[in-house]
Chains A and B, each alone.
Chain A
Amino acid sequence: MALSYDPVDVLARFAATHGIRYPLLSDVGSRVIEQLGLLHEALTARLGLYPVRADHPRYQRVPYPGTFVIGDSGVVVDKVFEQHHLIRRSADWFISRPDAAGVAVHGGSGPVRVALSLSDATYRPTQRLMVRAEVWIAPGYHAYADPAPDGMTPFRLDLDAVPDVTIDHRVPQPQARTSDELGRPFPAYESGFEWPIGVVVAKNVGDVPLRAHVQVQACTASVCEPPESIDLTLVLHGTDHVPPNGGGST
């Protein structure tokens, strides 16, 4: 369900336009929003930066945009809020199946395998989606994190920059520490881990190719494999009913 400060008729029209069947709750005047501690007082000052009529009702008593996950007992089990009022996460982010969009690609031929998947098959501008890299490391092996011993390749995962797309890596903490031949400790990954990457497309730009590059060197306690490069590509599609900006003429 969702909560805003719109009157019932605005929400009814919005639900009908977008085929929304879950409850949209009307909190005209933001009374409940304020009681919940969700009033975004800083936004009023920020709106001065935009060419809008700040006294319009839609800009009054605006809540922080975000999502609560309420568990079966009624307790808040998770909450996600963003710093910018335009950014919000997709529902599939919360449903949180790695291949919720049914799209995944795999790579790697040695002791390290990587699967790359999307939380959503399509994007809407300013919606935060998740690219999830699942990394599997064969038993007995580890992959150095950064910093690695001299001459060793640390695990790296990069996405190529794309215009109008913000990429935000959540680098996972190494699970272990291992030592080089001199006994010096270095951080390392073992077994498996996830590397989530937040992606926000600022405006409708059509299909967005997401090209990931993984650098890894898998080692046992006594020997290291040659460094391996794994390249994976996923395509994030624009929604069908919104044509790409700048295409065609009017």
Chain B
Amino acid sequence: MIDLSSVGPRVGERFPDVVLLDQTGRPLDLHAFRAGRVALFIVHRSADW
């Protein structure tokens, strides 16, 4: 069994800054895009699985 509580940023921590290209090829800044809103950040395996 994997200790999933230790996977990635912990509850209570600020989610790190992330800037990556989105599906349109444009850079997207995670926190700027949120603009103060609650967000779901989903991490997944390849969409081409």
Contacts and interface: CB of A to CB of B under 8 A. Distances in A.
Contacts of A24: 22-23, 47
Interface string B19-49: 0111111001011011011111111111111
A70 B22 contact: no
A15 B23 contact: yes
A51 interface: no
Residue of B1, B12, B14, B20 with highest tally of chain A CB at under 10 A:
B20
Contacts of A4: 43-47
A74 B34 CA distance: 8
Contacts of A68: 8-9, 15, 40-41, 43
Contacts of B2: 42, 64, 83
Nearest to A33: B43
Contacts, number: 163
A111 B43 CA distance: 44
Given A2-B43, A26-B23, A75 B7 contact: no
A49 to B, nearest CB: 16
Contact of A6 (B12, B15, B46): B46
B contacts with A: majority SS: loop
Interface residues of B, number: 40
Chain A facing B: main interface SS: mixed
A170 interface: no
Contact of A32 (B18, B38, B49): B18
Contacts of A8: 21-25
Contacts of B11: 76-79
Contact of B14 (A23, A27, A75): A75
Contacts of A37: 6-9
A42 B3 CA distance: 12
Nearest to A68: B41
Contacts of B46: 4-6, 10, 57-58, 62
B42 A1 contact: yes
Contact of A70 (B10, B39, B44): B39
Contacts of A58: 45-46, 48-49
A164 B38 CA distance: 35
Contacts of B22: 8, 11, 23-26
12 contacts: A10-B47, A20-B23, A23-B23, A24-B22, A26-B20, A37-B9, A38-B7, A57-B46, A75-B12, A75-B15, A79-B10, A81-B4
| In the complex, the 6 A-B pairs of residues with the closest C-beta atoms, listed nearest first | A14-B47, A58-B46, A11-B23, A25-B20, A2-B42, A81-B4
